[in-house]
Structure 1
Amino acid sequence: MYRLLNARSNLRGVGSMKSTARTIPAEDMPTATEPAAGGNKKRVLVVDDFDDAREMYAEYLEFVGFEVDTARNGMEAVEKASEGEPDIILMDLSLPIMDGWEATRRIKQDSRTRDIPVMALTGHVLAGNAEHAMDAGADEFVAKPCLPQDLESKIRNMLKPSKGKVRGG
């Protein structure tokens, strides 16, 4: 297993991507968790146009007990959200065809998908981007790079039923 960290610069005229992989000692690896009571795995939709990041997060989340679907752009995310009924969506914001902000808006405007929590998982870390994501309807904002185990913890916290707000399933 490896960790892949990536970041993107979104400044006009400036662009960079940094990826790094490293081996993690076996004793530091998490152990797979059992599905929720009744055998129902929570469903996560991972939306990212960067293949390595999407695959790395998907593989890790499957390893720790989630059922995972993926999308490469915002349009695909909107379609998969309404068809697959995920329990949570991890949404990159810089996506082709339809960006993550617009995809999140559409998901939150649709009565079939509005209650699905959306976590903006992005390299957009300039001032105002978290507020912009929340204005679009994101429930949480997480800056990349984010270690997979930290992401897992945030997902599990977001999926805990809260008083008066329980998603079907």
Structure 2
Amino acid sequence: MTTQPHLACRNPKVIMLYENEEDVLGAASIIADQVEEYRTIQVKVNIGEKINKFKPSVILFALTTVQKSIELYTEMLTDKSLDYPHYSILLCKNRESGTAFRCCIKNIFDNYFVYQPLYEKFRLKMIVHSGLLISQATSHYAGLHEEQLENVGQELASLIDKSSECKRSLLGSIEICKQNLNEPNKLVEKDFNTNLSSKKLMENINKTHVEPLLAELENNIKSSLDEMIQQLLSKQVGIEVLEAKIAELSRVLPPEEHTIAEALSAPIEKESVEAQKAKRILVVEDNQIYRDMLVRVLAKENFQVDEAEDGLNALQKIRNNKYALVLMDLFMPNLDGINTTIQIKSVSGGKNLPIIALTGNKNKDLIKTWAEQGLKGYILKPSTKHEILEAVNRVIC
């Protein structure tokens, strides 16, 4: 069941302003999972009165265009609906991200997030999290719980926690240093009464405050970093011990059993040229952010990946290379996915080149028309790593 964005907390600290309900479903559900004191409000005539009544710490503007969000925000500032400290976030479509970036550089909004298509849900959580902390709403915000964080390995989780502790210790030491450096005012009064020279006074300050604090700060950083370095070195030590045991085993084994130790210590052979060709994939996508994400996911699985930004560029690559699979977007400049698929048949010499559709379009008739050209599958955007690899492996493997 789809989560609806009309959440209605009575005293919201986070508010999302929107025009079309369908536009904000994904972003609204992500924030609702993070913040209890959250509410979405459809933009109407009396929106300024509601904002002034609730006085939210964080406000997300998710109107249909960046221009409308700017106009609404300016109006609310002008009529004093927003006359208190707050954190403003502009939600925009990918094609308007450049304008959103300019707005933040010009200090209109505090931050922005591309919510159509929705790629990085954790970045949206981070932006809202930072906004709540910056706007001094910590008394109402418990922060992200452990179960809301992405699961990682126990060793990595431990390293993250220790790094966090190291930074807190560093910041704490710096804060103590700042506080104690304010103490010279007291020393000035005391030393003035005893007629000490200014040079003697500075020596006294350095000796009793600055030097001890800097030494403590250096020791804190060194001890924390040393501990993390030792963790990394322990892995290398473990590898060296294993290699030594393999070498020792090869010396004591009978000649006919040496092949076991040799097999353990021998380097892994690279895939044959034929196997590499069988794993060569072409990603055709005009959205560079999503295209880069697909390339990273596939490359980590040892696929050989080429990329094209539109249909014409894809046809040129297919004419000059052999691919096991093509992942292709529907809407692209110069030549769209459907017409590119039709042209691929002639370019590939009649060979049946498998194609998986990349689409966020919900028009079933349009997708059906494309499927009739011989699609092997489709991946709905936005998509997870698991969904991408499942669709690819179903065709290639």
TM-score, normalization by structure 1? 0.73
Equivalences for residues 146-165 of structure 1 within 5 A:
146-160=383-397
Matched, 1:18 2:18: no
**Aligned pairs, number:** 142
Equivalences for residues 55-74 of structure 1 within 5 A:
55-74=292-311
In the alignment, is the contact (CA less than 8 A) between 1:35 and 1:65 conserved in 2? no
Q: CA deviation at 1:134?
A: 1.2
Q: CA deviation at 1:46?
A: 0.5
Instruction: Give the percent of matched residue pairs that are identical in Structure 1 and Structure 2.
Output: 25
Residue 131 of structure 1 corresponds to: 368
Equivalences for residues 76-155 of structure 1 within 5 A:
76-112=313-349, 114-155=351-392
Can you give the 5+ residue segments of structure 1 that lack an aligned partner in the other structure? Answer: 1-8, 28-33, 161-169
Q: What is the identity, as a one-letter code, of the residue corresponding to 1:134?
A: A
Tell me, in whole angstroms, the C-alpha distance in 2 between the residues paired with 1:20 and 1:158. 24
Give CA-to-partner distance per residue, 1:127-158, whole Å, 9 cap, x none. 21321111233222222122122211211110
In the alignment, is the contact (CA less than 8 A) between 2:285 and 2:329 conserved in 1? yes
Q: What is the identity, as a one-letter code, of the residue corresponding to 1:69?
A: D
More helix by share: 2
Tell me, in whole angstroms, the C-alpha distance in 1 between the residues paired with 2:325 and 2:301. 15
TM-score, normalization by structure 2? 0.33
Q: CA deviation at 1:45?
A: 0.4
Q: CA deviation at 1:92?
A: 0.2
Tell me, in whole angstroms, the C-alpha distance in 1 between the residues paired with 2:283 and 2:387. 15
Q: What is the identity, as a one-letter code, of the residue corresponding to 2:117?
A: K
More strand by share: 1
Q: Identify which of structures 1 and 2 has the higher relative contact order when contacts are C-alpha pairs closer than 8 Å and 6+ apart.
A: 1
Residue 38 of structure 1 corresponds to: 272
Equivalences for residues 44-59 of structure 1 within 5 A:
44-59=281-296
Tell me, in whole angstroms, the C-alpha distance in 1 between the residues paired with 2:305 and 2:118. 23
Q: CA deviation at 1:124?
A: 1.8
**1:101–1:149 Cα change, 3 Å:** same
**Which structure's CA Rg is the greater one?**
2
